[in-house]
Every structure is written in C-alpha cells, then in structure tokens.
C-alpha cells in the first residue's frame, strides 16, 4: 500500500525477536513471531516500510523504577529468578551475560515499544507496538514469560506526560488473566480494566481479579465458539467505554485464544480474532478515544500470519493511515528517549 511516506504510529525493533542459539525452541512461545509479522507487513502486503516505523529507545533503570522495585530489578541478575519467570529450565544453565543479551534486552526493547506506542497514540489517535504486552509482570514480580511491566510503565508515563488524561481503559483479550496489570493499579481508580480470559488456566490470581472493573465471564460456550464470545465482547466493551469515559484505550491483543493453542485452551478461529481486533479498534475510533495495541501472548507458528492479517484488516477497513492526527505536544520523532 505504501512504498515510502511519513512516519506512522507503528513501533517495531529487530531486537524484539528472542534467539538463544536455538534453545528458545524449548519454550512453547514463538519468540520470533515479531520478525515474521514485520516481514509480512513490509514485504508481502507492503503496508509500510521500515523507515516509516518508530524504533523504541531502551528504558533506563530509572524508567523501570517508576513501577518496579529496586529489589525486583536486582533479582533479575539471579539465574534462578529468571528461570522461574521464563519457565524454561535451561535458562538456569546460561551465563548471565547471555540471558541479558538474548532475553532481557529483547524484552526491554518490547517494553520501550509499548511505552513509546502509548505516547504516539496520544499524538496520532492510534498506535501499535508490534511486540510487548507483558501483562503478568508487576512491580515486584514477573511470571509467565513476562519480565517487565510494560503496560503499567506505559500508562504511568502517559499520566505523567499528558495531564489531560484522567482515565485509561485497559482491555486485555489475551487468553490468560492480565494479573500483573491489575496488581499494578489496585489502588488507582484512574485505570479501569476489562479482562476476558480463560478462568481455568494460569495464573488464577484471585487477588488481582478484584481489580477487574468489567469482567467478561467466559462460560464453556464463549470459550469454545466465536459467536457468543464476539457478542459478549461488543456488549461489555461498549458498556466499559460508556461507563469509564476513557481518554486512552490500551489494548492487549494476545492471540493465544486461537484454536489449537494448548496453553490458552480456547477455540477462536483466525477470522474471529481478526473480527475481535476490529471490534475493539472500531469502537474506540468511533468514540474518538485514542487506542494503542501491543501483541502479548500467542504460542503457535500460525500466530504471526493471523496478526498480520488483522493489522491489514484494521488499516484497510478503518482507514488507519487517514486517521492520523497531529494535535499533541510530543514531536514527530519520539525516538530520542522517554524523558526528553
């Protein structure tokens, strides 16, 4: 669609992919899906070029300490802590310099991507990070392959940089409960949470569940068939937007709800996931609410293709590239850092 052109509110980095000499294959997560998504969008569908995307800066320790405790940050130098968070036993055998360069640095890049994308959404009316979505991490812990609390950091950064933002609606449609985000904002009534997850799988965090403002109750029918799921999503999301009146919608668009995913244990078809994303984006844009998306979980080799199809659909049906606005205070190039 576009061979060249201005910067788009799309954030990506070649650092997103996780590669540890092939050892990443021991985990069910497709750690290279980000590169495949980007390749499809730039070389197959040709929606945009690399030069039109934003490359995120790496968050500093001070940036991370806005959410994470010093004790937690220090604990990431312990191989056993990382092994527990990543759920890959072989990590315990890796030298820390390998884990830092091959695992933590990619996740830092993804975290920076979500922070930057949220800023860009406030500037342009929409944005997407082609990575990120580490929704199990909170201030003092990580789990479920999530080390850094990118959504909590992004939302906190938006509140700091955009005083006009009074309320944020966080929408989590990953198959797993977004407990890290909920734990990060337990005491903050500016953040409203809509979470639709399989209650029979990890993390089963009953404490975090109390922070969910709008719960999508997934019965057997809504877990196993697309029609009731999408109908419930329309109803619940519409109510959430009308009730919370958000100034920003943060959308965690996990695709582990796809049929065949043994960890998500849901049965949404490819077409249903594409429609799901369109429902969220269309409702946000029609209400005039900026929306930012990160990709979160997805554990099969077909996830990248479904995500790319969904983004193509959003661009084509919703005319995203024609919806860009330029009415906020951050500059055209936000790549220089979060505090500059």
Contact predicate 149/180, CB 8 Å? yes
Helices (H), 245-337: 270-286, 303-318
Q: What angle do CA 16, 251, 230 make, to 5 degrees?
A: 120
124 catalytic? Reply is no
Contacts from 193-199 at CB under 8 Å and sequence distance 24+?
193/169, 194/169, 194/170, 194/236, 194/237, 194/240, 196/172, 196/229, 196/232, 196/233, 196/236, 197/172, 198/223, 198/257, 198/264, 198/265, 198/266
Q: What are the beta bridge partners of residue 306?
A: none
Distances (CA, A) of 196 to 6, 173, 284: 36, 5, 17
Q: Measured between alpha carbons, how far is 185 from 172 in angstroms, rounded to an integer?
A: 14
Q: Is the dihedral of CA 175, 180, 185, 191 positive or negative?
A: negative
Kindly name the residue from 40, 68, 135, 136 that is annotated as catalytic: 136
Contact predicate 154/120, CB 8 Å? no
Q: Measured between alpha carbons, how far is 328 from 161 in angstroms, rounded to an integer?
A: 10
Contact predicate 226/272, CB 8 Å? yes
Catalytic residue numbers?
136
């Amino acid at each position: 669609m576009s061979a060249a052109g201005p910067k788009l509110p799309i954030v990506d980095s070649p650092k997103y992919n996780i590669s540890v000499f092939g050892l990443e294959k021991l985990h069910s997560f497709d750690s290279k899906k980000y590169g495949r998504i980007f390749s499809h969008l730039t070389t197959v569908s040709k929606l945009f070029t690399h030069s039109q995307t934003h490359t995120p800066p790496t968050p500093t320790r001070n940036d991370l300490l806005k959410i994470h405790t010093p004790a937690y940050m220090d604990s990431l130098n312990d191989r056993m802590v990382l092994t527990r968070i990543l759920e890959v036993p072989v990590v315990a055998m890796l030298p820390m310099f390998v884990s830092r360069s091959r695992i933590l640095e990619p996740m830092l890049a993804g975290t920076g991507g979500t922070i930057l994308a949220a800023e860009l959404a406030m500037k342009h009316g929409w944005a997407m990070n082609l990575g990120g979505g580490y929704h199990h991490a909170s201030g003092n812990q990580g789990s479920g392959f999530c080390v850094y609390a990118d959504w909590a950091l992004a939302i906190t950064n938006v509140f700091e940089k955009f005083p006009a933002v009074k309320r944020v609606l966080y929408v989590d449609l990953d198959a797993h409960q977004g407990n890290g985000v909920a734990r990060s904002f337990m005491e903050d009534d500016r953040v409203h949470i809509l979470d639709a997850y399989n209650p029979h799988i990890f993390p089963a965090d009953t404490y975090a569940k109390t922070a969910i403002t709008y719960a999508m109750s997934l019965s057997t029918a809504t877990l196993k068939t697309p029609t009731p799921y999408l109908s419930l999503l329309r109803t619940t999301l519409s109510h959430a937007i009308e009730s919370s009146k958000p100034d920003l919608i943060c959308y965690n668009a996990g695709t582990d709800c796809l049929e065949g995913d043994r960890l998500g244990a849901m049965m949404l078809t490819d077409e249903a996931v594409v429609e799901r994303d369109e429902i969220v984006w269309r409702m946000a844009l029609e209400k005039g609410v900026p929306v930012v998306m990160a990709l979160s979980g997805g554990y099969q080799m077909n996830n990248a293709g479904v995500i790319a199809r969904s983004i193509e659909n959003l661009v084509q049906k919703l005319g995203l590239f024609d919806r860009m606005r330029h009415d906020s205070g951050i500059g055209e190039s936000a790549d220089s850092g979060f505090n500059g």
